[in-house]
Chains A and B, each alone.
Chain A
Amino acid sequence: MPSIFYLSIIIIVGLIGSGLSVASMLKNSTSPYGLEINQWRADPKSGGLEANPYQRDLTAISGSLPLNANEAVTFHRATDDTGERLNFRCTYKISDEISNTRFWTLNLVDNQGRVIKPSEGYNIALYSQHLIFDTKGKFLLTLSPQPHSGNWLPIKGEGQFRLTLRMYDTPIVSNSEIFETNLPNIARIHCPES
C-alpha cells in the first residue's frame, strides 16, 4: 500500500474526530461546570476571567456579554418542584426567599433563551423591590395567565417556558467558596387541560 493511503487515514480520522468532539462539547447549552441549587442552574464563572476555554467558546458563539460573578449570578430553571416542564397553561406559586442578594430580577424566556414579552402594559420582568414580603422576609408570587391578588407575574403564550433569575451584588460566588443561598420553590397549583 502506498504511504499516501496511510497518511489519508490519519488525516481523515483526525479531522472527523476533532470536528465531532468539538461539536459535541459545545452543543450542550447547559454547561457541566455550573452550580445547581433547588433545580435552579447557574454557570457563574462563565463570564469572567476564570472561565475555562469551553465556557469562553460558548460565550463567543452565543454573542452575549455575560455579567461577571462579582456583579450578578444568573440562574435558569425550566421545571416545577415535581420536575415537570413549566407550561403557559398552568398556575404556579413561587415561594419562600432569595437570600444574600442586594436585589433580584425574574423574567420568562423561551426554549431558545429569548425574552418573552408580556401583554401590553405589564412589566417585562419582576423587580424584587416591587414585591410584598411577609414579616419574615418571605414572599409568595403567583405565576398565572389569570390575574391574582398579591404578587402576580402574568404569563401569556403557548407551550413551555423557562425562568431566568438574576441576583445582583451577591456574595454567593466568591473566588473559591460557594456561600449558602436559598432559592425559591415552584409549586404547580393547577393546570387546565388544553
Chain B
Amino acid sequence: MLNYKKILYCLFCGLVLAALLHVIIILVLPNFSQNNAWYRISKNIKPYTFTLLSNKRFPDGRPLISGQDPLFISAVCWFDLNDGPLKIEAKGYAPYWSLSIYDNISTNHYSLNDRNTNPQHLNALIINDVQEAKLEENQTKDTNQISIKVTFKKGLAVFRALRPDATWDKQITEFIKSGSCRALSN
C-alpha cells in the first residue's frame, strides 16, 4: 500500500534538493566549463606571449574567442602570478587602445585605455597583495608604470587596439606585436 502522504513529503524534499543543486551548479559552473575563454586560451596558446586573437581559430574555422569587435586587432597573454608579478609593455600609436585583465572565469576585473596613461606607451604591472608588499620594501619605483592589484593568480591580459580601416593594418599590427608580457622574478 502506497503512503501518499509520505510520497508528497518526498516530492517536496526533492524540490528542496533541486533548489539547492540549482544554486550549487550555477555557482560552480564557470570553473568547470571547458568552453570558457581561459580554458580555450591556455590549451591553445603559449603563456607569457601576446598572441593575436584574429589568427587563432578552432579546426572548424570558428574563432577561438567569440564576440570580439571586428574593428579591433587584439592579442591575449595568459599568466599565473605564482611565477611572479606580470610586466606588460607596448609602444606605438592607435586612435584607441585598451588593456583588460580577466581572471580564469572571464570576469573583467580591470581595464584601462589610452586616456588613462601615456597614450604611446603601455606600461603596467599586475601584482597581488604579497607581491605589492615586497615591491614596496625594495623600492625601485617606475613612475610611469601603472600598478594593477588583483586578487586572483591565474588570468588573461587582453590588449586591444582600434583599426579604423585597412590602411591602419600595418601600424596597428606592429603596435600590438610590440606588446610584451613577462613574469618578473618573485
A residues at B contact (CB < 8 Å) = 1, 6-7, 9-18, 21-22, 25, 47-49, 51, 53-54, 56-57, 59-68, 70-72, 102-103, 105, 107, 113-115, 123-125, 127, 129-130, 166, 168-169
Contacts and interface: CB of A to CB of B under 8 A. Distances in A.
B106 A9 contact: no
Contact of A113 (B13, B30, B36, B66): B66
Interface stretch (B97-105, B127-135, B170-178): B97-105
Interface in B70-98: 70-71, 76, 95-96, 98
A112 B54 CA distance: 19
A66 B14 CA distance: 37
A6 B100 CA distance: 52
B21 interface: yes
A17 B18 contact: yes
A13 B115 contact: no
Nearest to B115: A169
List 6 tightest A-B contacts by C-beta distance, closest first: A13-B14, A17-B18, A14-B17, A18-B21, A60-B30, A68-B108
Nearest to B8: A9
A71 to B, nearest CB: 4
- Of B3, B26, B158, B162, most buried by chain A (CB within 10 Å of CB) is B26
A62 B66 contact: yes
Interface in B1-38: 2-3, 6-7, 10-11, 13-22, 25-27, 29-30, 33, 35-37
Contacts of B164: 127, 129-130
B36 A48 contact: no
Given A10-B14, A123-B71, A127-B162, 9 more contacts: A1-B6, A14-B15, A17-B19, A47-B107, A49-B108, A65-B67, A65-B108, A129-B95, A169-B113
A152 B52 CA distance: 30
A103 B3 CA distance: 68
Interface string B160-171: 001011100000
B150 to A, nearest CB: 11
Nearest to B24: A18
Contact of B70 (A11, A115, A168): A115
B21 A15 contact: yes
- Of A57, A65, A115, A129, most buried by chain B (CB within 10 Å of CB) is A65
20 contacts: A6-B6, A9-B7, A9-B14, A10-B10, A13-B14, A14-B15, A14-B20, A15-B21, A21-B22, A49-B108, A54-B26, A59-B107, A60-B106, A61-B36, A63-B64, A64-B65, A67-B100, A67-B108, A102-B96, A107-B69
B40 A168 contact: no
B96 A64 contact: no
Contacts of B21: 14-15, 17-18
Contact of A71 (B27, B36, B67, B111): B111
Contact of B109 (A16, A49, A62, A64): A49
Nearest to A125: B71
Contacts of A103: 96
Nearest to B33: A60
B108 A47 contact: yes
B42 to A, nearest CB: 13
